[in-house]
Amino acid sequence: MHEEAFEVAVDGGVLRGHRGGTGAPALLLHGGAAVPDYMGECAAALDGLFATIRYTQRGTPPSEAGPPYTIESHAADALAVLDALGIDRAWAIGHSWGGHLALHVAHLHEDRLLGLLLIDPLGADPTVFADLDANLRRGLSDEERARVDEIEERRRAGDVGEAELVERFRLVWPQYFAQRERAIPAPGRVGVQCSIGTNRSIAAHYEAETLVFGLPGILLPARFVHGADDPLPIASTERTAALLEDARVETIPAAGHFPWLEQPEAFRATVERLLADVEA
């Protein structure tokens, strides 16, 4: 699939990304938070269904935009990208934290979206974190678990470095995959202040139950794809989908957190079915 690079000026700096493919316009929102965009192969898998736009979110190279690192600023950036590229309405396709961001964009700016395609998203229920953390620690030694806990404590305190956050990803990364041979490399860069600020903003919105109260009444079609072996439990996705008027969830067997990498054919077929359901 051919893609072209773009830059979009936003408050505080520049966002850098790529656009390509054919189909309905779609904004791809990567997970992390605060890691570089990794959605290239997902965009390629969706070619013909969506003309995709993907970019690295503020606070992480190669994008340069500075603070504030909040859900509101990330949502404003998403609209700024659409505006700069002359797109009035688009699908929001979000993975992991990017799925959580897509839900907030729908809550704040439903009129700018055609629908939601959420891939193994961080949903509206914060209770999932206990299960997620436990699953990510499977197979780690006691020493490695202690190190992950130490880094997480330092991140919450706002006293952490990029090398430590990269180390944490390296330790837990294999647990995201049902098939290790399909794994992509763990992130080699992390925007430290973006990670700290964005996670604090997520926590604040969870405490306020923003999505719990904001998602009911949204009329956009919302389609969820979830790897059956994702360490992020599917119960979170199901509870989030239940808040929406027009939602459907499908699982992909033998796939973890990145189903387009581990089961590309099944992923494409699942998305095709979900889109056919929307059209029907």
The per-residue pLDDT for 180 is 81
Nearest Cα to Cα of residue 222 among 161, 144, 274, 162: 274
The per-residue pLDDT for 123 is 94
C-alpha–C-alpha distance, residues 177 and 256, integer Å: 5
The per-residue pLDDT for 12 is 87
C-alpha–C-alpha distance, residues 91 and 24, integer Å: 8
State yes or no: pLDDT of 183 exceeds 90.
Answer: no
The per-residue pLDDT for 232 is 95
State yes or no: pLDDT of 23 exceeds 80.
Answer: yes
What mean pLDDT do residues 70-87 have? 97
Helix (H) and strand (E) counts for the chain?
11, 8
The per-residue pLDDT for 14 is 97
What mean pLDDT do residues 88-113 have? 98
The per-residue pLDDT for 263 is 96
Q: Residue 43 — very low, low, confident or very high, per pLDDT cuts 50/70/90?
A: very high
What mean pLDDT do residues 231-235 have? 94
State yes or no: pLDDT of 280 exceeds 80.
Answer: no
The per-residue pLDDT for 279 is 81
Domains and CATH numbers, the chain: 3-128+192-279 (3.40.50.1820)
Helix then strand then coil, % of the chain, to nearest 5: 45, 20, 35
Token match 């049902």: residue? 178
What mean pLDDT do residues 231-251 have? 96
State yes or no: pLDDT of 272 exceeds 80.
Answer: yes
The per-residue pLDDT for 69 is 96
State yes or no: pLDDT of 48 exceeds 80.
Answer: yes
- Between β-strands 113-119 and 221-227, what pairing exists: parallel, antiparallel or unpaired? parallel
Q: Residue 182 — very low, low, confident or very high, per pLDDT cuts 50/70/90?
A: confident
What mean pLDDT do residues 87-112 have? 98
The per-residue pLDDT for 277 is 86
The per-residue pLDDT for 176 is 96
Percent of the chain with pLDDT strictly greater than 90 = 90
C-alpha–C-alpha distance, residues 43 and 39, integer Å: 6
What mean pLDDT do residues 141-148 have? 95
Q: Residue 206 — very low, low, confident or very high, per pLDDT cuts 50/70/90?
A: very high
What mean pLDDT do residues 161-170 have? 95
pTM for this model (two decimals): 0.96
